[in-house]
Amino acid sequence: MALPLRQPTRNDNGIALAVPILKQRFGDRCDTGLAMRRQHGHTTTWLPVEAPDAVVFVEKAEEVVDIVDICRTHGVPIIPFGVGTSLEGHVNAPAGGISIDFSRMNRILDVFEEDLACVVEPGVTRKQLNEYLRDRGLFFPIDPGADATIGGMAATRASGTNAVRYGTMRDNVISLEAVLASGELIRTASRAKKSSAGYDITRLLIGSEGTLGLITKITLKLSGIPEAISAAVCPFPTVEAACNATIMTIQSGIPVARIELLDELQIRAVNAYSKLTLPEQPTLFLEFHGSQAGVEEQSEAVAAIAEEFGGGPFEFSTRAEDRSKLWQARHDAYWASLGLRPGAAGISTDVCVPISRLSECVEETRADLEELNLIAPIVGHVGDGNFHTLLLVDNDNADERARAATYMERLAERAVRMDGTCTGEHGVGQGKMKYLRRELGGTVDVMRAIKTTLDPHDILNPGKIF
């Protein structure tokens, strides 16, 4: 039997007791100003801001333990905050409480070059880490686009453009240190490459969105910077043709590092925003990593597949500045899309299906957009079956908001029906809660049971996932 949905409730008395203690303990690092609080409830999607009652800037794990002890004693919610780039309301505070800002815990603690591993604090951003690693010939491959913190990326099980070759955060985190709701500081695993030592608590915490523990240290798997890197752009006559070329590329075992789809509307947006001159057609952005000979072989193989599906011309570039411009344009797709309809709100969707169903799912999605008369460019990490649409909606138009809601329901239902997921990488947060049970059924109750066991008073990021 499904457990009843538990909504978080505000504890005004507890908050009134806890905040002065935190102010005394942390001084200027405990900020109760409205602007700072609203910034820490900020969300880049359609969900309204729900601000915490105070923001505490922590500098070490022991301070996180202190905050958890104070908040547990007074029954006050805790919401972890990295840089606020999440898209499903993860940093909102629906019952008020304390936002813990990890931006000052931003040290790179160790790099083990021989083991291809490093240890970082949660406030380290992915760009900061890769700048530090560059001179050592190493890099951290997970690239969600935004310069997110490593702690936030672990908490939401982030992935991004490199996932088709390098996997997601689940595949690239070796071990975590985290503070539980009890105040206990735990380490989930050693630095060994593999282990059969009991439950995989590391991967239980990855993707738990701050509901099971507050991450204070991360041990990461690293990769060597490839000898050769080549980027390519290839237009196609239709989205279906681009998807089918992607499917054949993956099924052929070609180890592409990135393979991204932008439909013709998205190409129009990035051309205007990033000053590109690409043909306004469905287009694949690709990148190949390896030896010089290997990169050339991969490129030629994919070019031949693209030609079979009417794609071309297949344009290559090995110059670092050209590759950077191309991928920056891809990462700026969200902001570029907003320019298609100035003043509209952007609602980013996120589904993932088995790659064999990708073309079908994208085509049905485009048919829905046309039927419902909605504007939404499509962009996706199609190498692993994950794609996004950015709905451009007039929030003052009730009819349009209703059509957008219908579309999002259909999109999530379609992905689940095709044995996919309602969220490939954005996470559940507040925005995807209503879709989770239809995807996972009674497994949601198992998740709830784990949550209740580890956090019986529901103080860790309440109102998320369930």
The pLDDT tens digits of the residues spanning 222-259 come to: 999 999 999 999 999 999 999 999 999 999 999 999 99
Contacting residues for 214 by C-beta, under 8 A, at least 6 apart: 64, 68, 78, 80, 100, 178, 179, 460
Domains and CATH numbers, the chain: 108-224 (3.30.465.10), 228-335 (3.30.70.2190), 337-428 (3.30.70.2740)
Structural tokens at position 458: 């529901």
Residue 1's pLDDT band, with cuts at 50, 70 and 90, is: very low
The sign of the dihedral angle between the CA atoms of 251, 311, 272, 263 is negative
Return the percentage of the chain with pLDDT > 90, whole number: 90
Helix axes 433-440, 443-454, angle to 10 degrees: 120
110: Cα within 13 Å, side-chain hemisphere = 12
Res 13 pLDDT > 50: yes
> At residue 122, what is the residue type?
P
The candidate with the shortest Cα–Cα distance to 195, out of 219, 230, 159, is 219
- Counting DSSP H helices and E strands in the chain, the numbers are 17, 19
Stretch 57-61: mean pLDDT, rounded? 98
Residue 322's pLDDT band, with cuts at 50, 70 and 90, is: confident
Judged by average pLDDT, the poorest of 249-258, 286-295, 317-326, 378-387 is: 317-326
Stretch 367-391: mean pLDDT, rounded? 95
Structural tokens at position 206: 């990855």
31: Cα within 13 Å, side-chain hemisphere = 16
The pLDDT tens digits of the residues spanning 436-455 come to: 999 999 999 999 999 999 99
Run of H or E residues at 185: strand 185-187
- Kindly give the residue spans of alpha helices, DSSP state H, lying in 34-105: 34-39, 61-74
295: Cα within 13 Å, side-chain hemisphere = 19
The pLDDT tens digits of the residues spanning 61-80 come to: 999 999 999 999 999 999 99
The pTM (predicted TM-score) of the whole model is 0.94
The candidate with the shortest Cα–Cα distance to 143, out of 119, 115, 108, 167, is 167
d(CA 327, CA 330): 5
Mark 408-417 as b/e (b = at least 16 C-beta within 10 Å): beebbebbbe
Complete DSSP assignment for 358-416? HHHHHHHHHHHHHHTT----EEEEGGGTEEEEEEEE-TT-HHHHHHHHHHHHHHHHHHH
Question: With contact defined as beta carbons under 8 Å apart, do 216 and 154 qualify?
Answer: no
Residue 413's pLDDT band, with cuts at 50, 70 and 90, is: very high
Mean pLDDT of the chain: 94
Q: What's the pLDDT score for residue 139? A: 97
The pLDDT tens digits of the residues spanning 119-162 come to: 999 999 999 999 999 999 999 999 998 899 999 999 999 999 99
d(CA 368, CA 114): 51
Res 373 pLDDT > 90: yes
Res 43 pLDDT > 80: no
Q: Work out whether strand 228-235 and strand 283-290 pair parallel, antiparallel, or are unpaired.
A: antiparallel
Return the percentage of the chain with pLDDT > 70, whole number: 98
Contacting residues for 163 by C-beta, under 8 A, at least 6 apart: 142, 381, 383, 384, 386, 425
Residue 320's pLDDT band, with cuts at 50, 70 and 90, is: confident
Res 50 pLDDT > 80: yes
d(CA 309, CA 298): 17
Residue 6's pLDDT band, with cuts at 50, 70 and 90, is: low
